[in-house]
Amino acid sequence: MVKISRNAIQFFYKHVLKRPWVWVNIIKPLRQQPIQDVLSVTEVEAIINATRQLRYQVYYLTTYSLGLRLSESLNLTTADIDSHLIRVHLRYTKSKKDCFVPLPQATLLALRRYWKTHRHPTLIFPGGKPPHIRESKPMVMDKGGIQKTIKIRAKECGISKNVHVHTLHHSIATHMLARGCSLRSIQVFLGHACPKPPLSTHA
């Protein structure tokens, strides 16, 4: 908007007033980062329990309990799940670096239960119909469907917050902080480049 206004003034000076134009550098305003809504533990449990489709239910549980982002969960493979060391190998992180996160027992059991429903040789959350392939590439679940479903379930649970998949990521960070985890440990768990306390408009 600032750039458009400057160009309009420049045009007025040069072509209407016929006066020389002195270039004016734009001082860009600071970017405002909106404060993210955060769900309580009870609200997270309500959404997961209200989700009737097993694939979405396990997806939300996995995303929340592992502190993952949308694509990080979708791209999980069977090779990433280490049931012996009880951890998950993340290969598609925001920082482009591989890392390991702890694997809760409840999440492991849920992943096993869901995988048995499709038995895909590599993917945890395949999309489409068997053999889950499009243009010779493995298909993962549709992002739009995942986002739409969590909003519907949240509304059904009477939650008025702006809920989307990334809300789960922010929520577990807040819950860990409330349990006394250090900012450094939360940073490592979430794969953040720098430790910043999660912001919330809700306790």
* 10-residue mean pLDDT series, the chain (203 residues): 69 72 63 77 96 96 94 94 93 74 94 95 91 82 96 96 94 87 75 44 38
Would the pTM count as exceeding 0.85? no
| Per-residue pLDDT, 152 | 97
| Per-residue pLDDT, 179 | 84
Taking a C-beta distance cutoff of 8 angstroms, is the pair 188, 66 a contact?
Answer: no
| Per-residue pLDDT, 115 | 96
| Domain boundaries, given as residue ranges, for the chain | 1-32, 41-190
| Per-residue pLDDT, 92 | 65
Show Cβ contacts of residue 123 under 8 Å, excluding neighbours closer than 6 positions.
76, 77, 78, 132, 138, 140
Is CATH 1.10.443.10 the classification given to domain 41-190? yes
